[in-house]
Amino acid sequence: MAEATTAAKSAAAKSEPLFGKKEKQLITDPLYDNNPITIQVLGICSALAVTSLIYPSLVISVAVVFVCGFSSLITSVLRNRIPKSIRMIVQLVIIATLVTVVELSLKYLSYPVYKDLSVYIGLIITNCIVMGRLEAFAMANKPWRSFLDGIGNGLGYGAILLMVAFFREFFGKGSLFAGSPAEMKIIGPSGDYFINTMAESGIGSMFSWYSNNNLMVLPAAAMFLIGIFIWIQRSRTPKLVDVS
Amino acid sequence: MELFNIFIKAAFIDNMVLAYFLGMCSYLAVSKTVKTAFGLGLAVIFVLGITMPINWLINNFLLDGAINGLDLTFLRLILFIAVIASMVQLVEMVIEKVSPALYNSLGIFLPLITVNCAILGGSLFMVAREYNFSESIAFGLGGGFGWFLAIIAIAAIREKIRYSDVPPALRGLGMAFILTGLMGIAFMSLMGIDPAALTGTK
């Protein structure tokens, strides 16, 4: 009897590949169909605060992918040992530990970026995506799948963050990746900027009327942009439309 | 008077939601009707008002070199969030015991508050701005009051906008985002007001 169950178990293990279709779906679903920001409405605070430039958004996205993936993994491993009444505190301590790891590594790797992001690194703890995925997925699923789900949701969050940051930085500051080694200055007030350099030589003069849009620098612009993303997504996928 | 200035500044000029965009998740999720928004707003004022002084005590008497001169500030995030989570759980238990009616109207929102960034953000701002003990209480209550005002305002607008002809794909969430953006711009007109100059303490 015992042999039969172990045989059945190993057969079940064989039929569950390490990276099958279901596992792939766990990563791709949150990118569009079940996006944490536009559909689940989780983790918006930091999406608005850090997105005026692409580089800090990229840093935050990487941090969230890391925290989300590993906190799901750890919670899932411990899920049968966590008492129900104090599970929130346990989850938060796991998340807070990982965020502290991120904070200290960032302080060591790039102090200026750490200074710029100030409290927003700490606020990853209260990023509802992390907590939400722990509650909704990791507490009820096996470690490997929870890990993939965490990574997928982190990526879905990062995708929206980078899209918002791209529009805000390009139209607000006329640059891309400002503050990083790969800084690109495209349209701007001085001769350092690409279009202006072209304008002086006569090629780019058709863009010389452009000046930067200061609205995009305000946090409110992030609200408008996410609102517009939701609008576009829901027009393309009518089943998502809010009927209430 | 100094404390009153901090309260006013935290509630209106540095409004948690509309100036810093903190506590957005529950702000958008629970602002469908004014009644529920009111309950959540009160709970946030309460929790911010309690956790802020407790976290101040922890930060100044445990972490900042108070124990044998050890710098334990790297434990700040973990301790702050543990205090917030346990406070919320404690408040939930007390309310359940003392007033079941209030618990029933607030009950579901209380656990939500733990992951409200405004609470942890408030504690982190308190450390960054180096407030003293009484200032931290004023800042907590003011921040909570500002959050309360903001969620009541958006809930009222969302109740009204249900009668307007919004494009279907923009209804609900999309419109809530755009409205919050507009409210944020409106609140910017309060920026640069110096409460100390208004109350004559300067």
Chain B nearest C-alpha distance from A111 (Å): 16
* pLDDT above 50 (res A107): yes
Task: For residue A66, name the pLDDT band (cuts at 50, 70, 90).
Answer: very high
pLDDT, residue B147, reads: 92
Burial A151-161 (b: 16+ CB within 10 A, else e): bbbbbbbbbbb
Residue A1 in this model has a pLDDT that exceeds 90: no
Q: Which residue of B21, B108, B161, B188 to mutate against A (max A Cβ within 10 Å)?
A: B21
Going by pLDDT thresholds of 50, 70 and 90, the confidence category of residue A200 is low
What is the tens place of the pLDDT at every residue in A30-65?
Answer: 777 777 777 777 777 766 777 888 888 888 889 989
Q: What is the pLDDT of residue B146?
A: 92
Residues 6+ apart with CB under 8 A from B126: B52, B55, B56, B59, B136, B139, B140
Position A27 scores a pLDDT of 75
pLDDT score of B82: 85
Read off the DSSP letter of residue B59.
I
Q: Please identify among residues 47-66 of chain A the ones whose CB lies closer than 8 Å to any CB of chain B.
A: 48-49
Q: Which residue of B has its CA nearest to A93?
A: B78
B186 at interface of A, judged by CB pairs closer than 8 A: no
Q: Do B174 and A227 touch (CB under 8 A)?
A: yes
At residue A207, the pLDDT reads 59
H helix or E strand, kind and range, residue A185:
strand A184-185
Domain boundaries, chain A: 41-166
Q: How does pLDDT run across A131-178, given as a tens digit for each residue?
A: 888 888 888 888 888 888 888 888 888 888 888 888 888 887 777 777
pLDDT band at A10 (very low <50, low <70, confident <90, very high): very low
- Whether B23 and B40 have beta carbons less than 8 Å apart is answered as no
Yes or no, beta carbons of A41 and B173 under 8 Å apart: yes
Look at A220 and B128 and tell me if their CB atoms are within 8 Å: no
Q: Which token pair is A14? A: 């064989």
pLDDT on residue B199: 64
Triad B176, B182, B184: Cα angle to 5° = 100
Query: What is the reported pLDDT for A22?
Result: 75
In which residue are the tokens 């309460």 written? B46
Output the average pLDDT for chain A. 77
Alpha helix ranges (H) inside B15-169: 24-29, 34-58, 76-98, 100-106, 109-114, 117-129, 133-161
- Provide the percentage of residues in chain A whose pLDDT is more than 90: 4
Q: Which residue has the higher pLDDT, B98 or A118?
A: B98
**A43–B78 C-beta distance less than 8 A:** no
Could you tell me which residue, B179 or A28, shows the higher pLDDT?
B179
Residues of chain B with pLDDT under 70: 65-67, 105-109, 195-202
B contact test, residue of A108, A114, A119 with most B CBs within 10 A = A119
Any CB–CB contact under 8 A between B177 and chain A?
Answer: yes
**What per-residue confidence (pLDDT) applies to A2?**
46
Model confidence at A8: pLDDT above 50: no
pTM of the model: 0.79
Q: Is B71 helix (H, G, I), strand (E, B) or coil?
A: strand
